[in-house]
Chains A and B, each alone.
Chain A
C-alpha cells in the first residue's frame, strides 16, 4: 500500500478517526524555477547539470541575485529545498574567480559540518579545481591545523571554535581574515537565547578583526521557518539583511494528522500513552513498506521504540537492519551509515531524537511520526519536513502525550498549522554576555578612543569600567589588555554565567570523568548533596558539591526515587523600565529585578506513586541573579472582592497556565522563563504575577512578553476554558491537590476580568 492508499483507508476507519482531532491536507505545490543568474561562474554549470540541475528554484535565484548585489542575505527555507546552493554557489563562484578569496562556514554542530563538507567536496571534485575545504574544530589534528590556517579556502567550523580557537589567535589566520569574502551561517534559528546572544557578540568580534585586516565580508544566512527570521538575522549580525522567504521547491501533497490517544480513565483524566500508539502507527507504516522516520523526545524512548520495530522485522538470523535507531551518543561512522541507508532506501524505518532535526541529509521520506511535541513549532515543522517528497504524497502523524503542551497542540491544531507565532529572541546587549565578549574583543585588538563594539551604545562605559578594574590599561588614546587571563576560556557560548559547575562522575575511582556542566543558578537545585541526578537515563547521587570550586561529584546509584529541591525565591526590584495602567485598572510593568534563590531542603519522591519518602536538609549559600522581568498586577477592585485564600489559589492557577502558554509564544524552552505569583508583592505592593528571564541579564523574553501581555493572558484563559476537566488537572491549571477546588474557577474569573 502506498501513502495515498493508506491515508484513504485510515480516513474510512472510524475507530482510528474518533481520536483524530484534525486531518489537514496540504495541497501539492509545483516548482517555481528561474534561470542561472549571470553571477554564477560558468564552470559550475556543467557540475550542476551532472546532478540534473538545469535551473534554480526561485528562492535560490533570488538569494544569489541579492548576494551578487552585495547584500547580506537571509534565506528561509524548509528542509530539503536546496538551501545549500544559496551559499555554495556564490562562495565557489567567488573562489573560482579569485583564488585568494576565503569563506567561513559556521554550523551549530559538528555532524552538520561533516555533511556540508562532503557535499562541497563532491562539487569541487566534479569541477576538478583546487579549492581547499577544511573543517576546523576540536577534532582537527594539531598537525593539520597549520594547513587549514594557511591554505583553507573554505574553513568550516562552529561558533565555539571560532570564539576560542580562531579569534583570540587571529594573527595566525592572516590569510583568512585579509581575504574573507563570505561568512555563511546555517541553521540560524538555533541561535536564540543565550547561544544566540553569545554568537552575536562573537560576530561583533569577528567583524572588528575583519576591519583591522581590511576585509569586508558579506553574510549568507539560512534559517528554518520562524516568525522573525529577518529580525533574528539582523540582531545576530548587527546590520540589515535582505530576506528571501518564498520557497520555490516543489512539494507533493501532504497529510498532517493530529492524534490524541483516547482517555482511559475519565475521573483522573488519564490517556493512553503516546509510545504504544506511536509503536502501532510506525509499525503499520513499516508493514506497508512506507519509509518513515519516528521522532521521540528522549533517548530512552528512541531505544524502546527501535526495539519494538526491530522485533517486527527480524529475519530468522535475528537481523533487523531495516530498522535503525539514531541519537546522540552513536558513533559518527554509524550515523553516516544510517544516513546513507535512508538515502538509498536500505533503511525503512528510523527512530530518532531531535538529532536528525537539523539539516543532516537523509533525503526525503514518505512518512513522519512525532511521538510528542518537540517543544517549538520550528522543531515540529523541521521534523515534519523530513517526510515530503518533491513528488507523491506524504503523511505526518502527531501523537500527543499527556503533557500540557501536547494537549494544547492537539486540541488547537491551528496553532501549529497557521503562520508561526514563534519568535527567536536574543539579546546581544545582555550585560553578562556583553561584558565577557567585550573582554575577549579587547584582548584580540586594543580599543581606541571613540571605537564602538558592534552597535553597543555603552562601549565607552565598558572601557572605563575595565580600565578602572585594571583589566585594560588606557594610554595614548588606546586601551591595552593588561591582565594575564585568556578571557575566551572563561565563557561557554551555550550558557550565560561565567562560572559553570562541572559535573564529575567518580563511580570509577581510577577514571574520574566530566559528564556535564550546569550553570550556577541551577546547580543548587539539582546538584545539592544527596540529590539524584539523571544523566543519559542513568541515576547518579551527588556525593559532594564544592560550591567554591564549582564542582559536583556524582556516583552511579540505582534507587527507586528522585529528589526535588525546595527553592525559596525572593525578588527585589532594581529598576523599572516601563509601567502602564491597563484598561481594567491593574498595571503591567517591565524592569530589572534581583532574584535571590536559596535551597534549604529536598524531598525524596518515589517513582510511579510519587509519594514522599523523606526529606533532607541542604546547606548552600544564596545565589543572586540580576535579570529582566515583567509583571501584571490585579486591579484593587477585583482583588478586594476575593477572599485571600481563594485569591492565592487563583493566582497559582494563572501562574501554572502561563508556564504552559508563555514558552509557546515566546519560543523558548520552559526552563528559560520563570513565572511566580505574589499575593502581596514587594515589587508592586499588590497581588502580582511575575514572569522573568531565567538567565542572568535576561535574553529579551520579558520584553517580548510585555509586548504580548494581553495575548498571553488571553491564551491562558483559552487553555483553562478549553480543558475538559472541572476543577483542574496537570494539563491546565494544575492538579486540584495543589490549587484547591476553587483554583480553576477563580483563575478563569480573574483572567476574564483581566482580558475584558
Chain B
C-alpha cells in the first residue's frame, strides 16, 4: 500500500477538480457600484455632535460624513489564521451619492494587491464604520496584513461598530441584532434573493475550483448591499437620537435613554425616560428617571417621580422603598418612612405577586427595615 492509498484510507477521498480560477496579473479584481443620494437620507448632514450622542468614540475635530469609510469583508471562514478575506468592500459618501468599491482576489496570490487597496483606501479616510468589525473584520484584516508581512497601522482609525450601537437601541425589543433583521424590522426593507452568509465560503471555494465567476455575483451583491445598509442604518439612528419622539416602541425609547446616560447625556436621557413612562416600559423608565435625578443630587425631583409612580400604581414596592429612604434620610420624617414601609409590606403580600426566593428575600428585607424604623422611632 503506498502512502497515497493509505492517506485515502485514513483521511477519506473526495477528489474533485473541474476547472481553474481566473488569473490576472499584477492586481486583484475591482468592482465599483454607485448608489443615488436619495437612498441615504440625511447622511450628508451627520455632525460630530450627533455622533457624540451615539458613541463614546472620539471623532476628529474637522469631522465630515464624507470621510467615514464603510467596510465589510467576505471571508473563507469564521476566524483563525487560515481564514482569508477574499472580498473587501469599501463604501463612502460623495458629493452626489454613495460609492462602493469592491476588491476581489481571484486567487490567493492576489491577496497582497487586495490588501494594498484596502490600506490605501483606509489611508484616505478619518473614521471606520463596520458591523461587528471590532471582533471580526478588523482583527481578521490585521491578521492578513501580518501574514503578508505588511504594515497594519492603517487599521487604527476611530471605529464605529454599528453592532454595538444597534444592540444598545434594539436588543431589548429584538433580541438578536444581525444586519438582515435590522434592515427588515428597523429600516423596513427586507432583502430578497440574498445569499445567506453561511454559504459564502463554499461559493468561493467552488469558484476557485471551477473558475465560474458567476458564482460570486450574489456574493458581490450581498457585500455591496451590506455596506450601503451600514450608511443608511447609521443615519437612521442619528435621526432617532435627535428626535426620540419619532420612536414608536417604548422599549426602544427606554433603551435610548440608557444609551444616552452612558455618554453622560443626562438631559436627553431623561427626555427619553419621560417619553417611555406611559408605555410598556413605564416601570423601568420611571425608576431610571428617578435614579437619574437622585444621582445628580436632585432628591426632591426623584421623590416626585416615586410619588407619581405610587399614584399610578407602577413599579411594585420599589417606589415605596425608595421614598421611605428619602423620608428617613433626607427629610428625617421617620413616621412617614414607617408608613411607606408598611404600605410596601401590604403591597408585597397582595395575591398575584407570586412566591419564590426573590419575593421572600424582599419580604425579609422590608420586615427588617420596618423593625429598624420602629426602633428608631422609639429612640427619638
Q: Are B10 and A432 in contact (CB under 8 A)?
A: yes
Q: Are B15 and A484 in contact (CB under 8 A)?
A: no
A626's partner among B10, B84, B202 (CB-CB below 8 A) is B10
Residue interface mask A481-520, B partner, CB < 8 A = 1: 1111111100000000000000000000000000000000
| A470-B19 Cα distance, complex, nearest whole Å | 12
A469 is an interface residue with CB less than 8 A from chain B: yes
A-B contact count (CB 8 A): 98
| A464-B17 Cα distance, complex, nearest whole Å | 13
Q: List 22 A-B contacts (CB under 8 A).
A: A169-B81, A170-B81, A171-B142, A171-B146, A172-B143, A174-B146, A444-B82, A445-B147, A458-B3, A461-B7, A470-B15, A470-B209, A473-B107, A476-B108, A480-B84, A480-B108, A484-B76, A484-B205, A485-B77, A487-B82, A626-B6, A697-B10
Residue interface mask A441-469, B partner, CB < 8 A = 1: 01111100000000000100110110011
Q: Are A482 and B1 in contact (CB under 8 A)?
A: no
| A60-B304 Cα distance, complex, nearest whole Å | 75
Q: Are B82 and A431 in contact (CB under 8 A)?
A: no
CB distance from B13 to the nearest CB of A (A): 7
Q: Are B13 and A469 in contact (CB under 8 A)?
A: yes
* Contact flag A574-B205 (CB < 8 Å), given A462-B7, A465-B11, A697-B10: no
Residue of A nearest to B9 (CB): A626
Q: Are B109 and A476 in contact (CB under 8 A)?
A: yes
Residue of B nearest to A213 (CB): B146
* Contact flag A168-B205 (CB < 8 Å), given A174-B146, A469-B14: no
| A336-B146 Cα distance, complex, nearest whole Å | 42
B139 is an interface residue with CB less than 8 A from chain A: yes
Residue of B nearest to A441 (CB): B82
Q: Which residues of A contact B201 (CB under 8 A)?
A: 484
Q: Are A482 and B76 in contact (CB under 8 A)?
A: yes
CB distance from B216 to the nearest CB of A (A): 15
Residue of A nearest to B14 (CB): A469
CB distance from B5 to the nearest CB of A (A): 10
Residue of A nearest to B142 (CB): A171
Residue of A nearest to B143 (CB): A171
CB distance from A479 to the nearest CB of B (A): 9
Residue interface mask A683-723, B partner, CB < 8 A = 1: 00000000000001100000000000000000000000000
Residue of B nearest to A489 (CB): B80
Q: Which residues of A contact B248 (CB under 8 A)?
A: none
CB distance from B194 to the nearest CB of A (A): 19
CB distance from B214 to the nearest CB of A (A): 19
B108's partner among A442, A478, A488 (CB-CB below 8 A) is A478
Other CB < 8 Å A-B pairs besides A473-B108, A482-B76, A575-B1, 18 of them?
A171-B142, A174-B146, A432-B10, A435-B7, A435-B11, A442-B82, A443-B82, A446-B108, A458-B3, A461-B4, A465-B7, A465-B8, A468-B15, A478-B109, A480-B84, A481-B84, A484-B76, A485-B77
Q: Which residues of B contact A160 (CB under 8 A)?
A: none
Q: Are A168 and B80 in contact (CB under 8 A)?
A: yes
Q: Which residues of A contact B15 (CB under 8 A)?
A: 468-470
* Contact flag A461-B3 (CB < 8 Å), given A473-B108, A484-B77: yes
Top 5 closest A-B pairs, CB basis? A443-B82, A171-B143, A481-B82, A168-B80, A480-B108
Q: Which residues of A contact B77 (CB under 8 A)?
A: 483-486
B193 is an interface residue with CB less than 8 A from chain A: no
Q: Which residues of B contact A170 (CB under 8 A)?
A: 81
| A362-B310 Cα distance, complex, nearest whole Å | 63
Category for how many chain A residues contact B: 35 or more
A475 is an interface residue with CB less than 8 A from chain B: yes
Q: Are B109 and A475 in contact (CB under 8 A)?
A: yes
A431's partner among B7, B16, B81 (CB-CB below 8 A) is B7
| A488-B16 Cα distance, complex, nearest whole Å | 24
Q: Which residues of A contact B4 (CB under 8 A)?
A: 461, 464-465
| A626-B208 Cα distance, complex, nearest whole Å | 34
Q: Which residues of A contact B6 (CB under 8 A)?
A: 431, 626
A592 is an interface residue with CB less than 8 A from chain B: yes
Q: Which residues of A contact B3 (CB under 8 A)?
A: 458, 461
Q: Are B81 and A482 in contact (CB under 8 A)?
A: no
Category for how many chain B residues contact A: 35 or more
Residue interface mask A148-179, B partner, CB < 8 A = 1: 00000000000000000000111110100000
Q: Which residues of B contact A480 (CB under 8 A)?
A: 84, 108
Within 8 A of A (CB), among B109-154: 109, 139, 142-143, 146-147
B78 is an interface residue with CB less than 8 A from chain A: yes
B78's partner among A473, A476, A486, A488 (CB-CB below 8 A) is A486
CB distance from A320 to the nearest CB of B (A): 35
* Contact flag A470-B17 (CB < 8 Å), given A171-B143, A482-B76: yes
Residue interface mask A623-636, B partner, CB < 8 A = 1: 00010000000000
* Contact flag A168-B82 (CB < 8 Å), given A473-B108, A475-B109, A592-B1: yes
A469's partner among B11, B80, B82, B109 (CB-CB below 8 A) is B11
Q: Which residues of B contact A465 (CB under 8 A)?
A: 4, 7-8, 11
Residue of B nearest to A436 (CB): B11
| A171-B15 Cα distance, complex, nearest whole Å | 31
CB distance from A489 to the nearest CB of B (A): 9
Q: Are B80 and A475 in contact (CB under 8 A)?
A: no
CB distance from B310 to the nearest CB of A (A): 40
| A488-B82 Cα distance, complex, nearest whole Å | 11
Q: Are B82 and A473 in contact (CB under 8 A)?
A: no
Q: Are A482 and B205 in contact (CB under 8 A)?
A: yes
Q: Which residues of B contact A486 (CB under 8 A)?
A: 77-80, 82
CB distance from B71 to the nearest CB of A (A): 19
CB distance from A440 to the nearest CB of B (A): 9
Residue of B nearest to A446 (CB): B108
Within 8 A of B (CB), among A635-679: none
Q: Which residues of A contact B82 (CB under 8 A)?
A: 168, 442-444, 481, 486-487
A443's partner among B78, B81, B142 (CB-CB below 8 A) is B81
CB distance from B195 to the nearest CB of A (A): 15
| A443-B109 Cα distance, complex, nearest whole Å | 16
Q: Are A473 and B11 in contact (CB under 8 A)?
A: no
| A435-B13 Cα distance, complex, nearest whole Å | 13
Residue of B nearest to A486 (CB): B80
Residue of A nearest to B75 (CB): A484
Within 8 A of A (CB), among B61-110: 76-82, 84, 107-109
Residue interface mask B2-36, A partner, CB < 8 A = 1: 01101111111111110001000000000000000
Q: Which residues of A contact B84 (CB under 8 A)?
A: 480-481
Q: Which residues of A contact B17 (CB under 8 A)?
A: 468, 470
| A480-B143 Cα distance, complex, nearest whole Å | 15
| A481-B142 Cα distance, complex, nearest whole Å | 18
| A476-B109 Cα distance, complex, nearest whole Å | 7
Q: Which residues of A contact B9 (CB under 8 A)?
A: 626
Residue of A462, A481, A697 contacting most chain B CB atoms (<10 Å): A481
| A461-B7 Cα distance, complex, nearest whole Å | 9
* Contact flag A475-B108 (CB < 8 Å), given A461-B4, A465-B7: yes
